[in-house]
Structure 1
């Protein structure tokens, strides 16, 4: 146990951990750290001042790292224990219990403690034994864990434990599963498995939202998982924790009563594409139908999210759009089916996503076939960001390199020979019902190599594409920008979208408000401030609480 190391990726420290001076109190800043694992046993802190984290195999050391699980968690684990899926192996191999191994003399814990006490000043940090938080997990027999058989062997599921920020659990792997996990990581050149790899390639059953964030001694004896404490991603799953809905409910209530016609710009900072789409589905289904005086424009610069995803339309099937589904997932690329129609796009660090979500009361004559043209006219054209070559053709935003077009607004192609001079600079998709509509756009700041590596050529293409492959007809949005604006970076483009997009529409309304949502925001501004100030700040917890109100979201990982 002495001198062992743990590798963490963006790990959050739980309650009661000694934190080194160069580590923030509420977690790491998204990097990988190696730290001494010489830890605290029976209430004695062996190396005060060193950064520590509970090790998965030694979580039974009764470290008070995690807060106690809720009663709901315990009930869920009991149900798991006796479910037909997670069969019970009670009483099997009792020697797997850490303390049983101590009693059997396999682990010379007293000798180790004596050696450590001679070399370090022992400082009591907790009361011992059953007074220590989560002591019960320290005496849990592995044979009592629910388990499931995968194509590669059995896996064991630990109980769930939470701190103020995350819920944690461990999935203990047997040899066959461990070997397959190593093979997957070797092929994709990564240190951590993605959720899609865990579920679809290893065959491990998990509710959505879990992140593999820590590896112990560069071994995969177990998957160490976490997910945000309040988030619920599962389709059709009951909430696993008590979620405070008062802020979200209050916000919807105020929006429904709002007399002013307002254009809300949501700038998402660090929110991944899955949560972005789920939040947009929340706005479309829960908010826009009752907020007749409001329009919501969302901007997300994915150069700051680390997203790598294939995003398909509602009716999309992965094998129809992706060259090799298994290989794509093994590379850590998530395949998502969104709640809107349209085609398939790549979203990664090269992408800036925008979405307009509004009540049909703001566009009384709009129809499903008019959404793209309406958005082009009211949100993008004439806002000062784009040049004269920026057009809307066949549901796509394009640039054309011709000196003349037969059509004044470039909405038609009269001469088929012109199509080879027209290039796509944004992929669009829509959704529509009698109360609300959605228009998505994905602007490539640079052309991602994943477009040609991952995506098949679609069977249905716009006429202007003229059979060209992806690289031949897609261009960076920079080709469509007004040079007078001097937008040289993707961050400048993002800020200009937040400032200027939708000016025509917002000028017809009473007010324009900027709402920034950040993953590093500790607390949300008072909900009432959104209606009083033209600029406000929300935490990611607000997004997660909003997502949790969706009973059966259509947006999901495939």
Structure 2
């Protein structure tokens, strides 16, 4: 870890409670593209169950579209890569948005950034469970509890994580078994593959430990959530968006050739 070298670097910390995930992603994209500051965003839950797909995800391959439409589940295509997740009130979101100089000697490529975040969260989960960064997931043993996505620009990077502190088993029915999955998944279904963080630590303790770990790496400056607007570019138009019902209906009837070309 490069804590002694990095602590002079200021990290702005913003904490939310129940911010809608679409709004959170719009804020993140705005800060990544238009801000020159380093940011950590912690959002403790989002009110309504929502599916969030990566920028290149195909709904026809990833979602059980009939129940998604039947239950009126919002589907978001975010601005970063990575997989598909169902988020809700039991999800805790942590996002790091950094300039390339924020972490000393960190190479601006996906794997080094992922490795560094694994070391960061190793501090958070020290002595708790059998924590590992496994492929691109955070796991206890061989069960996933944290899904990650990243994006890298010329001078900045973002790494955001959906931590499954808890989840509703019924929501897993909205996801298909992905064709491309980590090797360690071993074709396990969702309920055999993931675990709940609440079985390992209290929710508030996880958030407090994350903030504490942040303070060992950076000089943390708290920004009130209602003061964040002054840092946002009001003219910025985010690419993260909700998929329309028409798009989902079209995906439900897409042919294999159309899926391959999408």
Same fold, TM-score > 0.5, yes or no = yes
| 1:456 aligns to 2:176 (yes or no) | yes
Name the residue aligned to 1:342. Answer: 82
Greater RCO structure (CA 8 Å; 6+ sep):
2
Task: Tell whether the 8 Å contact from 2:34 to 2:232 is kept in structure 1 after alignment.
Answer: no
Q: How does 1:291-440 map to 2 (within 5 A)?
A: 291=37, 295-302=38-45, 305-324=46-65, 326-363=66-103, 364-377=106-119, 379-383=120-124, 387=128, 389-400=130-141, 422-440=142-160
Point out where structure 1 has 5 or more consecutive residues left out of the alignment. 1-259, 401-421, 482-486, 518-523, 525-537
Q: CA deviation at 1:451?
A: 4.1
SS at match of 2:224: strand
Task: Tell whether the 8 Å contact from 2:98 to 2:157 is kept in structure 1 after alignment.
Answer: yes
- For residues 158 and 170 of structure 2, the distance between their equivalents in structure 1, rounded to whole angstroms, comes to 26
Task: Tell whether the 8 Å contact from 2:49 to 2:86 is kept in structure 1 after alignment.
Answer: yes
Name the residue aligned to 2:232. Answer: 546
Task: Tell whether the 8 Å contact from 1:385 to 1:500 is kept in structure 2 after alignment.
Answer: no
Dislocated runs of 4+, deviation >6 Å: none
SS at match of 1:440: strand
Name the residue aligned to 2:246. Answer: none
SS at match of 2:28: helix
What does the per-residue CA deviation read over 1:449-507, in whole Å, with 9 as the maximum and x for residues that have no partner? 244210000000111111101000100123554xxxxx3xx34433443x32423322x
What does the per-residue CA deviation read over 1:126-179, in whole Å, with 9 as the maximum and x for residues that have no partner? xxxxxxxxxxxxxxxxxxxxxxxxxxxxxxxxxxxxxxxxxxxxxxxxxxxxxx
Q: CA deviation at 1:383?
A: 3.6
What does the per-residue CA deviation read over 1:305-330, in whole Å, with 9 as the maximum and x for residues that have no partner? 41221000001121111112x53134
- For residues 500 and 331 of structure 1, the distance between their equivalents in structure 2, rounded to whole angstroms, comes to 39
Name the residue aligned to 1:503. Answer: 215
Equivalent residues, number: 234
Q: CA deviation at 1:384?
A: 5.8
- For residues 137 and 207 of structure 2, the distance between their equivalents in structure 1, rounded to whole angstroms, comes to 20
The one of 434, 444, 447 equivalent to 2:164 is 444
Point out where structure 2 has 5 or more consecutive residues left out of the alignment. 1-7, 244-262
Q: CA deviation at 1:426?
A: 0.6
In structure 2, relative to structure 1, the CA distance for the partners of 1:316 and 1:450 (3 Å cut) is: farther
- For residues 18 and 166 of structure 2, the distance between their equivalents in structure 1, rounded to whole angstroms, comes to 19
Q: CA deviation at 1:374?
A: 1.2
In structure 2, relative to structure 1, the CA distance for the partners of 1:270 and 1:447 (3 Å cut) is: closer
Q: TM-score, normalised by structure 1?
A: 0.40
Name the residue aligned to 2:27. Answer: 279
Structure whose residues are more often helix by fraction: 2
In structure 2, relative to structure 1, the CA distance for the partners of 1:362 and 1:270 (3 Å cut) is: same
Name the residue aligned to 1:229. Answer: none
Task: Tell whether the 8 Å contact from 1:447 to 1:476 is kept in structure 2 after alignment.
Answer: yes
Q: How does 1:59-458 map to 2 (within 5 A)?
A: 261-287=9-35, 290-291=36-37, 295-302=38-45, 305-324=46-65, 326-363=66-103, 364-377=106-119, 379-383=120-124, 387=128, 389-400=130-141, 422-458=142-178
Name the residue aligned to 1:18. Answer: none
| 1:472 aligns to 2:213 (yes or no) | no
Task: Tell whether the 8 Å contact from 1:278 to 1:547 is kept in structure 2 after alignment.
Answer: no
Name the residue aligned to 1:513. Answer: 221
In structure 2, relative to structure 1, the CA distance for the partners of 1:512 and 1:477 (3 Å cut) is: same
Q: Which moved more, 1:340-349 or 1:438-447?
A: 438-447
Task: Tell whether the 8 Å contact from 2:44 to 2:91 is kept in structure 1 after alignment.
Answer: yes
Q: CA deviation at 1:354?
A: 0.8
- For residues 386 and 437 of structure 1, the distance between their equivalents in structure 2, rounded to whole angstroms, comes to 29
Name the residue aligned to 2:250. Answer: none
Q: TM-score, normalised by structure 2?
A: 0.81
> Max radius of gyration: which structure?
1
RMSD of the alignment, in Å? 2.2
Name the residue aligned to 2:241. Answer: 556
What does the per-residue CA deviation read over 1:193-244, in whole Å, with 9 as the maximum and x for residues that have no partner? xxxxxxxxxxxxxxxxxxxxxxxxxxxxxxxxxxxxxxxxxxxxxxxxxxxx
Q: CA deviation at 1:550?
A: 1.4
In structure 2, relative to structure 1, the CA distance for the partners of 1:492 and 1:504 (3 Å cut) is: closer
- For residues 452 and 270 of structure 1, the distance between their equivalents in structure 2, rounded to whole angstroms, comes to 21
